[in-house]
Structures are given as C-alpha cells and as structure tokens.
Amino acid sequence: MTDLSPPAALDRDRIRELFDLRSSYNSFSGGDYTDDPYPVWHELRARAAVHEGTVHRLTGYPGEAMFQGLPFPDRPHFSVFGFEACDAAFRDSETFASSPVAINPIGDDVGVMNSMLSMGGDQHRRYRALVQPSFVPAKAKWWIVNWIQETVQDLVDRIAGDGRAELNTDFCAAIPVLTITGSFGVPVDQALVIRESLRDPAAVVRILAPIVAARRESPSDDLISVLVQAELKEADGTTHTLSDAEIYSFAILLLTAGSGTTWKQMGITLTALLQRPEVLAAVREDRTLLKACVEESVRWLPTDPMFSRHVTRDVDFYGTTLPKGSVLHMCLGAAGRDPERWDRPDEFDPYRPLKRSLGFGGGPHICLGMHLARAEITTGINALLDRLPNLRLDPDAEQPRYVGLYERGATEIPVLFG
C-alpha cells in the first residue's frame, strides 16, 4: 500500500487534460464532435436497415474518427442503426467476428488487439471464463469494499467543504481508473502514468512487470493474483497457466475498458439527474430508483455508441449483401432509441419498464465489467447524495453538454451544494 491518499497523489490539472473529452488526447475518437447525433441516427434508421459507409461519415462528421473496427481503409464498410440488426450481428459471432485475423496471445505482442476483445468462438470463451468469476454481480461488494468506497469517500472529502465543485473530472473521472489500478495493486501515484501510457504498452508493462512477478511469488486478494493463478483449458483438454505476455494483454484490456468508459457514463447519468430535479429528488428519497436511472442512462446515451465486427463470409443481412472481408459497424447508440423497442425513445425516463438495451454491447462479447461499472456509478452517486446536501447544477456556470462521437460524455458538471 502507498501512504499517498488519492486526493494528494492525483494532480487535478493532469486529470483534466487526460479526461476532458475535448482535449487533444481524445480527439482521436471524435472528441471535438459537439452536435446531437440522434436526429441523424433516427433518420438513417428509418431510411434503411443497412447503410454503406462508416457511422462517423454517415453522421456527417467531417474528420477521421478512430475506434475499434476502424480505419481499415481498403475494406468495404457498412453500418446498422436498428436494435434488431445490431443485436443479430452481436449474437452471430461466427459470421461477424471481432478480428479480421486469428489471435495468438502467447506471442510477444502485448496490447488490446491481442486480448480476448479480438478473439472469437471457443478461444474467447476460454479466456473470458478466467476472469468472469471476478466480474459477476455477486462480486460487486468485493470491488466496492476493497477499491471503490475508499476512493469515492476521499474524493468527496476533498470537495465537501467547498460548497461547489466540477464533478466530471474532479469526481467521476478518478473513480474507475483508481478502482482498476487499485485492483491490480498499482500504487495511486502511478495510476495516472498508466492511464497516460495506455497506447504505449511497453510503458504499462514496465509498471506491471514487478507486480506480476510479486504475485507469482505470493498471491493476494486482487485481480493480478487471479490472473497469475488462472488455469487456461486448451481445446485438447490440457491446461496451462498464463504467460506474462498474456497477463499484460489481459491487464491492458481491463485498464483501457475500465478507465475510459465508466466515468463518462457516470457523468452522463449525473447530468441527466441534475437536469431533472424532480427525478433527482425522487432518487435522493428512494435510492433503489438509482438502478433504473443507471440502466436508462446506458440505453439513452451510451458512452461508447458504436462497435464493429468483421464479416467472415458473404452474407445477406437485412436485404443487403455484405461481402466477406467487409466491416459492419453497429450503432448501438441509435439502437437504444429504436422506436420499435421503446416508446418515447428520446426521453430519459427511469420509470419505464426495465428491458435490455445494447449500451453494454451484446452477444458473447458483452461488456465484462458492466456490473463493476454499475457498482462504481451507484456508489459514486450515492456518496454525493449522502454527503452533499441540496446538490444542484450551478445556474451561473456553463451548463453541461454531451460531446464526442465514438466516446461520448458530458463537458463539465458544475454543481453547488449546502
């Protein structure tokens, strides 16, 4: 353990730069997009089941935006916007594969593209099964008690006396990165170094290597210990433990997914509540309503609104022939507002009947960390409501807006309390 508590070790300006969606770090995925894409997406969904082109081009974004499944400039691209088509593609992972090539995680290449994110079929199932037990709903308490609760309380301590705060970067952004790095045993002062280095796997490996070595010697109650002790069943029935390279790729995937998404969904949920004071008041009174608010936020404005698959055989898909080798983009943001599945789809309404959206993806690759994300968002918002009386948007500050194309989130969330 380090004796640096999160508030002391996390430099506020550095967090801002790393997490502000409009900063250069995030322009990569269309962070400078400021329009509301939903009217265009409604139009596209109504016009045809399958469109030729990428989601960003069809949405009218003039630049090049990157995400999983892009750019692949030499391949044909198609996009779907309806719930049914997105769901069908997610579920048929043989026709719609996560990678254009087979994945060999044993080799020396370390990174997300060499992790289970890109695997398919039986290989994906075997790797995912190693970590799934650490991410089931029943493990939420393990995460909360060991890593989430203390971070959340420390962050509230830092602002509780001020009467005002900017919650997006000063609160939401820090929680997931500290949770996932904490679960790896990475000291707090190195958490931001990791966040900064995610596109440079070698730098992350330098931080992780001594931890992996230490856990191989002496396992403890954390995620790296789970990975070093995991036994992978091969297709032929033999088992082997994970190599260092496999563990690093696993860890980088979990870090990328864990530190980049949940905080934005937390900010989206918070903004939706703060902009609807009657809903916020209802949640304050009855915290069980918070679950429905989180689910509704994931449907209504998922932070990652698009995922992609590689077409493995010529296939007729909703009336369009997709050639083998093409890329299919599923706009799950648009799918979450499909009027075929939801009444008044553009309304944020936590009282609607609970029903699955595709905000966490779908099919066998559905988000591994979704119950952890729910736990982080719920613990964070509950702590704010418990400790910051009369929490409300600051009427004199610039109001929060949703920005970003492939990584969406709120700008700033200026609040008053007390």
Partner 1 sequence: MAGQGLVTVDQTLCVGSGMCIVYAPESFDHDEHAKVVALDPMGDPLDAISTAVEACPTGALRLVPQEQEA
The Cα 131–Cα 64 span in angstroms is 34
DSSP 133: G
Segment interacting with partner 1, rule: CB under 8 A, options 55-63, 169-177, 234-242, 353-361: 353-361
Segment interacting with partner 1, rule: CB under 8 A, options 131-139, 145-153, 245-253, 344-352: 131-139
| Least Å from the CB of residue 417 to partner 1 | 31
Binding of partner 1 at residue 351 (CB under 8 A)?
Answer: no
Number of residues that bind partner 1 (CB under 8 A): 22
Segment interacting with partner 1, rule: CB under 8 A, options 77-85, 212-220, 303-311, 360-368: 360-368
Close Cβ partners of 86 (under 8 Å, ≥ 6 residues apart): 80, 330, 331, 332, 335, 358, 362
Close Cβ partners of 112 (under 8 Å, ≥ 6 residues apart): 118, 249, 252, 253, 256
Segment interacting with partner 1, rule: CB under 8 A, options 123-131, 178-186, 219-227, 313-321: 123-131
> Which of 364, 385, 387, 394 contacts partner 1 by CB under 8 A?
364
Return the CA Rg of the chain. Answer: 21
> Which of 71, 107, 137, 277 contacts partner 1 by CB under 8 A?
137
Binding of partner 1 at residue 356 (CB under 8 A)?
Answer: yes
- Nearest by Cα to 35 from 66, 53, 64, 56: 56
Please identify, using beta-carbon distances, which residue of 39 and 137 lies nearer to partner 1: 137
DSSP string computed for 235-291: TTS-EEEPPHHHHHHHHHHHHHHHHHSHHHHHHHHHHHHHT-HHHHHHHHH-TTHHH
Please identify, using beta-carbon distances, which residue of 166 and 338 lies nearer to partner 1: 338
Please identify, using beta-carbon distances, which residue of 44 and 373 lies nearer to partner 1: 373
Please identify, using beta-carbon distances, which residue of 167 and 242 lies nearer to partner 1: 242
Interface characters, 375-414, with partner 1 (x: CB under 8 A): ----------------------------------------
71: preceding bond cis by omega (within 30 degrees): yes
| Least Å from the CB of residue 235 to partner 1 | 14
Q: How many Cα atoms are found within 13 Å in the side-chain-facing hemisphere of 284?
A: 18
The Cα 18–Cα 225 span in angstroms is 28
Please identify, using beta-carbon distances, which residue of 70 and 372 lies nearer to partner 1: 372
Binding of partner 1 at residue 287 (CB under 8 A)?
Answer: no
The Cα 268–Cα 26 span in angstroms is 17
> Which of 132, 229, 241, 321 contacts partner 1 by CB under 8 A?
132
Interface characters, 62-101, with partner 1 (x: CB under 8 A): ----------------------------xx----------
Expressed in percent and rounded to 5, the helix, strand and coil fractions of the chain are 50, 10, 40
Binding of partner 1 at residue 129 (CB under 8 A)?
Answer: yes
Close Cβ partners of 138 (under 8 Å, ≥ 6 residues apart): none
| Least Å from the CB of residue 87 to partner 1 | 9
109, 244 contact by CB (below 8 A): no
- Nearest by Cα to 266 from 384, 100, 392, 135: 384
Which H or E element spans position 165? strand 164-166
179, 148 contact by CB (below 8 A): yes
DSSP string computed for 368-381: TTHHHHHHHHHHHH
Please identify, using beta-carbon distances, which residue of 17 and 92 lies nearer to partner 1: 92
175, 375 contact by CB (below 8 A): no
Please identify, using beta-carbon distances, which residue of 253 and 413 lies nearer to partner 1: 253
Segment interacting with partner 1, rule: CB under 8 A, options 26-34, 129-137, 216-224, 378-386: 129-137
194, 181 contact by CB (below 8 A): yes
> Which of 125, 276, 352, 387 contacts partner 1 by CB under 8 A?
125
Binding of partner 1 at residue 4 (CB under 8 A)?
Answer: no
Binding of partner 1 at residue 138 (CB under 8 A)?
Answer: yes
Binding of partner 1 at residue 371 (CB under 8 A)?
Answer: yes
DSSP 144: I
| Least Å from the CB of residue 367 to partner 1 | 8
Binding of partner 1 at residue 362 (CB under 8 A)?
Answer: yes
> Which of 111, 363, 380, 414 contacts partner 1 by CB under 8 A?
363
Residues that bind partner 1 in the complex, under the rule CB under 8 A: 90-91, 125, 128-129, 132-133, 135-138, 295, 353-356, 362-364, 366, 370-371
